[in-house]
Amino acid sequence: MITTKKLVTSALLVALTVVLTRILGINVLTAKIGFGFIPIIIAAMCYGPVFSAIVYALADIIGTFLFPAGAFNPFFTLTAALAGAVWGLILYRKAPASLGGTLAISFIAAFINNVLFSLTANSYLIHFYYNVALEALIPTRLIQIAIMIPLQTVFIAVLWKNVVPRLAQWSAPKATNG
């Protein structure tokens, strides 16, 4: 069921993703290093694969039009949506009790997403649409995922233990008469 809380939280997560990705992200050649994954992971943990896919796709579209770095390509938005869905499939309602379990699932989620989408799908799209040689792309993408996988693993574990439980308890203040 779509609630006002889900819509408002998702809109805030879209805005936060745009800021963290487009304004505070570090773009080096064909690699991106940043914290734009955090709101997507929160959406995945709290609302599942559908909402995290929508949040990531909307953030990609809005970010592309507000801060263009080239022509809009819907295939990059599709990979963003699929990445959001994968985050949701792996992380939604699966918080393990132990730190070891949390780190293991966090690593698996980060590894799958980075290898499947950043290294493979997005590299192929850049190669195909912008005629950049894969031999030039792959080394920088490998460095990117070597940084992002441990970073995302730690952040997922921290979010699971600290942020997501608080978001689950959050509710709007009650209206008062008078």
Mean pLDDT of the chain: 90
Structure tokens at 85: 């869905």
**What count of Cα atoms within 13 Å lies in the side-chain half-sphere of residue 55?**
35
pLDDT value at position 137? 92
pLDDT higher than threshold 90 for residue 117: yes
pLDDT value at position 176? 60
Give the position of tokens 């809005």.
62
Got the DSSP string for 116-139?
IIIIIIHHHHHHHHH---HHHHHH
What element of type H or E holds 98? Answer: none
pLDDT higher than threshold 90 for residue 97: no
Give the position of tokens 């069921």.
1
Structure tokens at 23: 């304004």
In a 10 Å sphere around its CB, with 0-12 CB exposed, 13-18 middle and 19+ buried, how is residue 80 labelled?
A: buried
pLDDT value at position 18? 96
Q: First-to-last CA distance in the chain?
A: 32
pLDDT value at position 64? 93
Say if CB 88 and CB 47 are below 8 A apart: yes
The model's pTM is: 0.89
Q: Which fold has domain 4-169?
A: Arp2/3 complex 21 kDa subunit ARPC3 (1.10.1760)
pLDDT higher than threshold 60 for residue 178: no
The C-alpha atoms of residue 83 and residue 49 are separated, in whole angstroms, by 9
Model pLDDT for residues 152-163, shown as the tens digit of each residue: 999 999 998 888
